[in-house]
Structure 1
Amino acid sequence: MAFVPAPGYKPTFNPSLPYNQPIPGGLSVGMSVYIQGVASEHMKRFFVNFTVGQGPGADIAFHFNPRFDGWDKVVFNAQQGGRWGNEEKKRSMPFSKGAAFELVFLVMAEHYKVVVNGNPFYEFGHRLPLQMVTHLQVDGDLELQSINFIGGQPAPNDSPMTIPAYPDMQGPPTFNPPVPFEGRLQGGLTSRRTITIKGYVPPTSQSFVINFKVGLSGDLALHINPRLSEGVVVRNSYLNGSWGSEERKLSYNPFGRGQFFDLSIRCGVDRFKVYANGQHLFDYSHRFSAFQRVDILEIKGDVTLSYVHI
């Protein structure tokens, strides 16, 4: 089974630079764009542009431009007809050279809201109608790990909207939820359902857990436990008051201190398929046959969450 993102969640992993690609379905209110990457050790600047078209002369509805130039700052602007508008700037640098980051653009009715590493950073008022924006450009002194388009209008090949801003979703995602987190799986865990979790492992993290739980009994159909101090990811089930045998073998471990992760957990008929950052991580055969009774997603421990969609 190949990686299948949750509906309304369109990730691209490890894109090359310069990045200049269409925004699926175009830009609309309620959409968010997540960019995870690592700032270069020798960073001088990078930019993110929301553009009207793809060509070199395209208008830029929003230009986001961090600059390490001795007067560390972030510049915001727009360009129309080849001419830059009035420059806005913030003399504060939320990025650190050599460090991982998560940059989020929330598309609001009046402005773009910029969030860096979970902290609100700036609001840039619309100068061009956001409905005109068609492409996203990223380039500069950074390494891209993922770009995610969440919500918004469906692309032509998507199914129609079922709820505002989030096509085909069973419910809206939760942004920056506190930990411990408990989310209810309405209707239980069904085959082909995909759960998406985006988060950050703090530098001091020792361990955290992700549990698929039966609320009435406390049984855990799947327990995922990254143990940073041991460098392992333990998987297990807790059924009828007892733990089963642990599974530990992995070809790689995506959970590193100071790193962001993008986890996709897909329930199949006979197993869970788990992907991290777009790469297959492990399969876990069902030990709890009535997985439809799993109705709670529980996340706790040394982790910071930026996005959960159940």
Structure 2
Amino acid sequence: MSVIAVLVSSSLIGFYRLSVYLYRSQSFSSTFLNFREIIMSNMSIESISSCEIAGNSNYGLLKPKSPDLSQKSEVVCSFNFKEAVPGVCFVITGVILKTCERFSINLVSTGHKQDIALHLNPRLPQNYIVRNSKINGSWGTEETCSQYSSHYDLFRGHKFSIEILITESEFMLSINNRHFGSYAHRVPFRKINGIEVKGDIKEVAIDQLYRDKYPEVPTQDILSYDETLRDDVKFVVPYIANIPGGFTRNKSIHIIGRVKMLPHSIAFNLQQSPFFWPHPTVPLHVNPRFGGGKHIICRNTWKNGKWMKEERTDISSRDLSPGREFHLVIECDFDCYHIHLNDQEFAKYMFRCDDNATKIVDTLNIAGDVVLKKVYLQTRIYD
């Protein structure tokens, strides 16, 4: 016990001296913030698997106990409509106050029960967004995201744009013109007839429009190897790129990156069209998963409105693990895809879309807990 006490005491003294030094050098605050940014940037952003496109991971240490909608309870802006149908989209714009702690957007049923079908609640100090529903006066289970992607950031004193699209099964959410995630319906969407905005924001406007596709995807073509060598090339996640001419037998896709330190999953999709809704056909879905202490890679196909039977393989920590760099290659053959991981063939995945597999793939979609270094298309010339 005396040895433990000495160790604890010396550790506290060392921490105190470090704190005093940082304080005196006026760098404690910035050092702490930099440390926080490093930790948060390595946390899981969203969970993506063959069964779900999520953003639904719960981080109990970050979640406050109170379900309060915002620091201010008054309605800043509201809008009523007759009926919600798939394809109806609401675009909420405004300016975040410099003193903002949180604000909320609620899609509500304005009848006797006044249920909240969607409670979208950005909380700036915690740096995540809560999604929830209130049914018969009771809150459900919160869905949270550990952090925003750099493209979804909401800044105090800056303008914002949040888009909420109603589909048959879920809400699709976009923040600052980038897809953020989805939220499955807990209240029948046809009962929704109002939207309310509350909290620490100003100059709020609500626009209603109709979409037949979602989201608005920026157009870019997948690069060649030589193009990736340019100094100005940066790869952001989610990464969505066109594959010129389709993904045919003479082509292979190379993905070089690093798994984040606290990952949940990654998704590499070869799909038809860059849109999330209506759900595209996905001839190949490669899905590394890291939850539960066991690492696996799943392969699957989405067609005719559903996922097919998964193929699963365990992966070793040498091949794909938190913090480790990897090189994934997907090569198209006559009747299958060859999947290589770190210079070794990992799996062979037979086509499940009949003869159209090579013809319909026109998009590469990468999402999840990965930092991308290079993504390029290689074309092989056969004799």
The TM-score bracket by the shorter chain reads: 0.3 to 0.5
Higher helix share: 2
TM-score by length of 2: 0.35
Q: RCO greater where, 1 or 2, for CA within 8 Å and sep 6 or more? A: 1
Larger Rg: 2
TM-score by length of 1: 0.43
